[in-house]
Structures are given as C-alpha cells and as structure tokens.
Amino acid sequence: MTSQDQNSGFRSDDNGQSSFLGKLLTIDSKLGNQDVEGLKFLCRDCISHRQLEKSSSASDIFDHLLEEELLSEEDPFFLAELLYIIKQKSLLRYLNQSKEQVESLLPTRGRVSLFRNLLYELSESIGSENLKDMIFLLRESIPKIQMTSLGFLAYLEKQGLIDEDNLRLLEDLCRRVVPNLMRKIEKYKREKASQVVTPPVDREPESLHQRKEEPFSRSDIEELLEALPALPKGSWQDQPSRSSGSLRTSFSLVSTEMLGASPATLPSETSTEKASVYRMDRKHRGHCVVVNNHKFTSMSDRPGTDKDAEHLRHVFEWLGFSVRVYDNVTKGHLDNVLQEYKCHPGHSDGDCFVFCVLTHGKFGAVYSSDGTLVPIQEIMSHFTAQQCPGLAHKPKLFFIQACQGEEIQPPVFIEADAVNPERVPPSLQDSIPDEADFLLGLATVPGYVSFRHVEKGSWYIQSLCNHLKSLVPRNEDILSILTAVNNDVSQQADREGTKKQMPQPAFTLRKKLVFPVPQEKL
C-alpha cells in the first residue's frame, strides 16, 4: 500500500490511535482481492450496500466499521471474527487475539449471522465447474456476466430469491450439482431452529444528529428550492411555501434494486405462494406509530390533520396493530420515540411495523413541531436489521403526509408525449435504506406540494385508509392497494380544478405483503 493510500484510508483526530490504525493498514496489505470480497459479503448486514460497492480495499471496509463504531482499539472483536471466518487466522495477532480466544467468544459475541456464515461456507465449496452448472440451471434469471461463487450467492440474496427462511432454490441447486453441500444446509437449519430469540440489547441511545449519511443535506434542499420559480401561496398546500405551476407527468412505482427481478426457479419447479408472501401469523400484527403535528412554534397550523390521525388509528387497529398517536412532536420527542421503537422488545413477536408522519415537509425531509427539518432517511435508518434486529426480514412501512417541495401540479387538459423532458424527476432511492423489506409511501412526488382539506383531512391519508378498508378484505397486497390510492388521488382536484396531486411509493419489499382479513367489519 502506498503512502498516499495510507493517508487517505482512515480519518482520526486522535494521535493515540495511530498505532492501532497502523495495524489495520498492515492487515489490509496482507489481504488479497478474494479476501476483500469475503469481507464485503460478511459485512452486508451492518454496512450499507452502497458503501460496500464503493469499497475497493480492506481499509475502506475498516473505515466504515470505525465510523459505525463496530471496530475500535478497545474492542476489535468484530474484525477478529471476520478474519477468522475468511481463514486469515494468522492476522489475529495484530489485534492481540488468538484463534482459541475468538472461538471461545463467538457463541456470545459473534455478529455474523448463521445465514451469512452458511453462504460463505458454501461459496468456498462451489468450484468453477459447479458454478457454471448452477448458472446454467438459472440461465433465464442470471445476468450473463462473470461471477465468483460468492458473487453468485450474493446475487441470489440481493434479488430476494433466497433468505434465512427460504433456502428452497439453494437446496435444489445443491442437490443437483453438489449434493455433499446439503449437509451444511441441514446443519444450518438445526442450528437456526435451536437459536433462542432474545430482545435486542442496544448501546447507549443514538441521536438523529449522529447519523453519518443523509440523502439530502440542508444545503442540498436549500439549493434545490432556490432553483424553483416563485408563485403565490396555495390555500390547500401542506407547507407554507412558494409554488410553481410547472407540470410533471411521469410517475411510477419505484423499487430500489428490485425492479426487473423475476422469480427464478429451476426448470422443473415452481415457487409456492407461501414462499412469496410475508409471514403474518405471529403472536401479534405489530406496532403502528403515528406522529401527528398540528401546531408548530414557527409555522402555520395544519387543520384537518387530527382527522387523518384518527382514521389511521381506526384502520390499523382494525388490521390488528397496536397503535400509538403522538401529537405535536418536537425534535427531542421524536428522538425518544424512534429510540423507544428501535429497541422495542415486542418486535420479535410481531409480523410488521408501520410508522406514519403527518406534518409539514420539504424535499426528502419532514418538520418536527419545533421547526427542525429531519431527513426521512434518518427516521427509517433506525429500523434496519443492524439497528433493530427484531424487525429483520419483516416488512417495515412508512407513510409520509407532507409536502416534498414547492411546486404545484396543475391538471392536464391536452395529451402530450413529453413535458419538460430535460427535467428528470428526483428519485426516492436515497431515502430508503440499502436493504430489503422497506416501503416508503409519500403523499406526493419529490419536488411538489401535497394537499389537505381543513375539515376532511388530506387527500392521500384519507384515500389510503379507505382503500385499506375496501381492498384488504379482497386479499389485495399492499402494492396493489397503493396503486389504487395513486389512481384515486390523481383524479382529485381543488374547487377551481387548478391543483392536482400524485403520490409515490418506493420499496425494497422482497415478497407480497397481504394483511389477513380482520374478523370484525369496520
């Protein structure tokens, strides 16, 4: 490693850490490309996929682990575990660890999941010829690019074709190509079945201010809004703002990384419905949180929002959720609510989690009642598998009733193939975490206002609740319901017919989400 690489690899303000960082650089210099690939794969549950994709060396990964406080001079065990798994046990000495010490601590301190350990072990036993055979069997679903065995398994996981509870496709491949690997899979099943699920024990509370990544910084938002032309205030809009009459006519469901992924099965097999639907038969449906901001310290009130909050409570209680409504939530109160539900022990026995925010907003962010702008991504990041293990592999739904900009969507009275084609609509991809099982439902597309009737409530929330009531009994899945909501809201307009709205969902759901039909009628 060059001196330039050493200077750019790690950031530290404490000279006392230089010795420890030097040891990490030494470890980095002794790891090859295959080792780096292994480290990236083993860290998929604790470092965002975007960051891992940008990591080209072990030092890049170490840097992320340091930032996430998963690695320190005082506690280097997680790195020791990683080196042990990739069979670089000789490097443990740089961390003052031994093979025996790591083995004795793994049962109580190990962070790498059984599932990830299994895939890594399998990759080591899948030779190049075996890999060719597996890719051939899935030739309709696998891109024609060169892959390692580990990259192949990572691709299957990324596309939602395998997960810790669904190894059917992997078992079929192994039976046909490498039958002796079935022993490893059976061992994994036995160990997983014997695991005792315990409530997650978290470190000291983490403030929203401490997050390292934000999809949109304050300066980004201000720069975007300054670029929008000014119009008079709209009497219906959720955010006191200037508005533009520009039109955007291209709207769609956005699925980060999941669009275009078709279910892959072996030629003689078909997937069962059960494997493609989220489980909804645990002890309770889950928790639903509603943040309802009506009054603000420095912004206009939001009359009609209490109607939305009551409707959400009514519908989600009907669906079996335990619902809590929090009114006029300050930034400090929001931190406490997020911390409470991030560590809630009830998640382990629940099927799902819902978080609703009714407030003023801007592009990619929402306002607390005391006027603090909070990025949506920061709210959602509290419920990733790493931060909230009790919700791992379970659907997490976020519904945001707030403006996402200052433009107003006027109605279209003539057809056009394109309007302002040079303007590319912003993507929601940066707002949702880089992992599966999230859904974000926005009342409006990024850059535009949303509307709320001062007595009846908002167009979006009222439509969402009404369609849940009518379509859940028909066994419709959540994406079909949100498509119906899109259609309904898009057809609404104010009295003058000059203001329109289009909601937009973004999701990384791996399966269909179908709420069981409640026994009681609503």
Q: Any residues with CB less than 8 A from the CB of 95 and at least 6 apart, and which? A: 23, 76, 79, 80, 83
Structural contact between residues 37 and 148, judged by C-beta atoms closer than 8 angstroms: yes
Rounded Cα distance between 403 and 452, Å, is 10
One DSSP character per residue, 312-368 reads HHHHHHHTT-EEEEEES--HHHHHHHHHHHHT-GGGGGEEEEEEEEES-EETTEEE-
Give me 70's structure tokens.
Answer: 């998963």
- What is the DSSP code (8-state) at residue 439? E
Query: Is position 43 annotated as part of the catalytic site?
Result: no
CA angle (440, 446, 448) in 5-degree steps: 125
Structural contact between residues 292 and 306, judged by C-beta atoms closer than 8 angstroms: yes
Catalytic residue among 46, 174, 356, 403: 403
Phi-psi region of 328 (alpha: psi -120 to 50; beta: other; left: phi over 0): left
Give me the phi and psi of 277, to 5 degrees please. Answer: -125, 135
Least Cα distance to 119 among 178, 188, 58, 48 occurs for 188
Least Cα distance to 223 among 426, 51, 33, 64 occurs for 426
Distances from the Cα of 498 to the Cα of 239, 361, 409, 465, angstroms:
17, 22, 8, 25
Rounded Cα distance between 106 and 145, Å, is 36
Query: Is position 343 annotated as part of the catalytic site?
Result: no
Catalytic residue among 64, 287, 360, 467: 360
CA atoms lying within 13 Å on the CB side of residue 142: 24
Least Cα distance to 472 among 517, 519, 511, 521 occurs for 517
Burial class (CB in 10 A: 0-12, 13-18, 19+), 147: middle
Rounded Cα distance between 164 and 268, Å, is 23
Q: What are the residue numbers of the active site? A: 360, 403
